[in-house]
Amino acid sequence: MLKKLKCICIGIYLALSAHAQDKLTDFVNPFIGTTTLWDSVDLGYKPTRRAWGAETYPGASLPNSMVQVTPVTMWKSGSGYQYEDTVIYAFVHTSKGHWNLCYVPLIAVSGDVNPKAYYSGFKHSNESARPGYYQVYLEKYGINAEVTSTLRCAFHKYTYRSGDKKKLLADLSRSNEDVKDWEIEKLNEYAFGGFQKTGNTFYFYAVTNYQIDNIEFVKDGNQGVSIVNFEDSGNNSAPLEMKVGFSYVSLENAKMNLEAEMLSKSFEQVQNEADAVWEQLLSKVQVQGGTRDEKETFYSALYKSFLWPILLSDVNGAFKNAKGEIVNEGFRYYSDPSFWDDYRNKLVLLGMLAPDVTLDVIKSIIDRGVLRGYMPTFFHGDHASVFIAGSYLRGLRDFNVQKAYEVLLNNAFVPGRGGRPHLQEYMDRGWISEMDVPHPRLETVAKAAVTKTQEYAYDDYAIALLAKELGDEKNYQILMQRSHNYKNLFDPTTQLMRGRLANGDWIIPFNPEQPYFEYMYREANGWQSTFFAPHDPQGFIALYPDKQAFERKLDSLFTIPWKGYEAHNFTTFIGQYCHGNQPGHSSPYFYYFIGKQEKAQRIINLILTKYYRMGPERLAYAGMDDAGEMSSWYVLNAIGLYTYSPADPEYLITVPLFNKVVFDLQGSKFTIVKKGKGEKIIGLTYGNRKVDGYTILHSQLQQGKTLVIQTE
């Protein structure tokens, strides 16, 4: 009997161990994307300064949450964290990866504090992270720091050396944005709070497990920090714990958020709940086959795809709208997506896996659009149009589409501040002229006229799709005609997209290999910008003498060597193609439309295997993650689908990295099975029926059948 009981116990132990090993959060490495490339072979040029890394952060967060509690190793640097740095200043509570945010810096300290040098050294050997948790040992103070979070709150836990007096430091004069005002005060024996004002005002309410003595301001020259002192804290060995609630509305709401989400919970409970939330999201995409390394890259990328946009409303639904009014509209209020970056893929992935969040993001931008008269824009283009149209056509319809459409029409037809720059010229000419700059340089600030024309044409197409769906035939016809405007900047002599002066002449001199930040092209050169017409690939190909001529030109994109131009956001090249920045990310798929799918896959495979785990630590991306766009590119191609034209409710089928994928699409699970090990797709079936071409509709995937991809 004892022997039998022992066998049962061993069996249970092994089963539990196997289950524990199957946790998908174990595959997530939050440090991926935090390093910088320095090798000239990797970068494509010899660096004279730090290139932009992926600019991701390793700290604790939940999917699309208000709070991202993460260490700062350098102010005014991307997410605030750079893997090559050796000191930590504080833990901030907001981060994106775009040189902004990093609000409310707080950290534990001990002993005498120098306001100019309170930062602590650390080593990566004493640092760890997983979804919803981050830990580091602060060498200067002998403190082991741990943080975790809920949607609107952060939990700090600091374990001191025996006998050390415990203190908290707040450096509220700093963030990655200019701080206009701040305040911190003791609220009761165990609580303090205040705010930090940049463009927004971010309120915080903190409760500690040690009794607060006072809060003093320590200054050295023009640098000062606030120190929260505790009574008799050196005589107690229990870790210092701090629970902090946040709000963009008020201090009272910050307290309310804390009481609702965290106040009654232990650190371990909050950490475990965060892990469970991430596990639930990640488990919506189950992959089989592939190496552990590939699964690590995949689930880390999936994790990073869901960190932005962020929540801005409180537990009671209150938020500050675009006019600064405190309102409650009955939905969760989110920040704007990074439209220029992630309209390509991330926002589609968001809709596939988190439709409830996606609908509230749409309601949020409609709310801002109605108040401002225009839908939000970001950088270039007007890609709220693509997001809303694509989401609606994929079946996400629980929002006021008529109201959204009315505002989108303003973006498309009404010139004005807040809408499309140079819209009147675009409507009058059918293209936007570039400024006459005698000696343009990388940093030249001009109109980025080629990029704007191309992207406005695609945005017109997206709104046209919505117009047709809503029965507006007149605007459908106008916008569909305008969607061909990109052709007006195609130069047949160079067979590239090229800027034109106001008189119609082509820009001279013209070097399509020279990159620019804002002259003719936005963060690209002529080669990288040319192959963009996701709504009209056959129409674009028809601009060339024949398909063979087009193929030769497309081949040149991937074979003409990069000439060593240095720009900190142009990194990693396949010929002229730059995977380290977004503008050319759809270019490889053009091969599909000339019957050369395998050539596209060859490039896709190279990118999947080489450009997401780079550098000596294998923690670097090819370039900026840009709020999850780079990560989403990986996720979608790794499972065998890509959003080539995100406004259309369909996907290009690629060869998956994994042998089998089970995808939970809003409760309906479809499966993708790869057969063969080649790059060329020789057969496609869905639900045992042949798939013609290389596309599959979103509505087909919702049927929950099996897509079989046969390769050789």
pLDDT at 258: 98
Give the per-residue pLDDT at 20: 45
What is the separation of C-alpha 356 from the centre of its chain, rounded to a whole number of angstroms? 18
pLDDT at 571 over 90: yes
d(CA 502, CA 642): 37
Average pLDDT over residues 319-323: 97
Beta bridge partners of 61: 68
Q: Quick count: other Cβ atoms within 10 Å of Cβ 328?
A: 13
Instruction: Over range 185-212, report the average pLDDT.
Output: 97
- Per-residue pLDDT, averaged over 503-525, amounts to 96
Residue 120, beta-bridge partner list: 88
Distances, alpha carbon 134 to alpha carbons 91, 174, 359, 508, in Å: 10, 22, 30, 53
Cα distances (Å, whole numbers) of residue 55 to 30, 378, 405, 622, 626:
12, 18, 34, 11, 8
- In whole numbers, what is the pLDDT of the chain averaged over residues? 95
CB 581 within 8 A of CB 570: yes
Task: Give the pLDDT score at 7.
Answer: 41
Q: Average pLDDT for residues 287-300, to the nearest whole number?
A: 97
User: pLDDT, tens digit, for every residue of 44-60?
Assistant: 999 999 898 999 999 99
pLDDT at 356: 98
Runs of H (alpha helix) within 25-137: 40-43
Residues sharing a CB contact under 8 Å with residue 326, sequence separation 6 or more, in sequence order: 249, 250, 318, 319, 320
Provide mean pLDDT across the span 117-139.
97
Q: Are 174 and 80 in contact (CB under 8 A)?
A: no
Q: At what angle do helices 384-393 and 401-413 cross, to 10 degrees?
A: 150
Nearest residue to 89 (alpha-carbon basis) of 119, 63, 68: 119
Pairwise CA distance, residues 533 & 312, whole Å:
35
Q: Return the axis-axis angle of helices 629-639 and 346-353, rounded to nearest 10°.
A: 60
Is there a contact between 115 and 225 (Cβ–Cβ < 8 Å)? yes
Helices (H), 442-585: 449-469, 473-482, 526-530, 537-541, 547-559
* Beta bridge mates, 219: 224
| CA neighbor of 367 nearest in space, from 329, 311, 415, 408 | 329
Instruction: Render pLDDT for 256-291 as a digit per residue (tens, 0 to 9).
Output: 999 999 999 999 999 999 999 999 999 999 999 999
Tokens matching residue 423 = 């819209």
Q: How many CB atoms lie within 10 A of CB 163?
A: 8
Could you tell me if residue 524 is left (phi over 0), alpha (psi between -120 and 50 degrees) or otherwise beta? beta
CA distances from 642 to 105, 634, 638 (A): 39, 10, 9
Span 420-456, pLDDT tens digits: 999 999 999 999 999 999 999 999 999 999 999 999 9
Tell me: pLDDT of 86 over 70.
yes
Q: Does the pLDDT of residue 10 top 80, yes or no? A: no
Taking alpha carbons only, the member of 131, 132, 29, 33 closest to residue 82 is: 33
Distance CA 541, CA 595 (A): 12
3-class DSSP state for residue 100? Answer: coil
Q: Which tokens is 589 given?
A: 């798929």
- Per-residue pLDDT of 645-696, as tens digits, reads 999 999 999 999 999 999 999 889 999 999 999 999 999 999 999 999 999 9
Give the whole-angstrom CA distance, residue 607 versus residue 590.
16
Peptide bond before residue 509 is cis, with ω within 30 degrees of 0: yes
State the burial class of residue 442 (Cβ atoms within 10 Å of its Cβ: 0-12, 13-18, 19+). Answer: middle
List all residues 6 or more positions away from 237 whose beta carbon is below 8 Å from its beta carbon: 160, 162
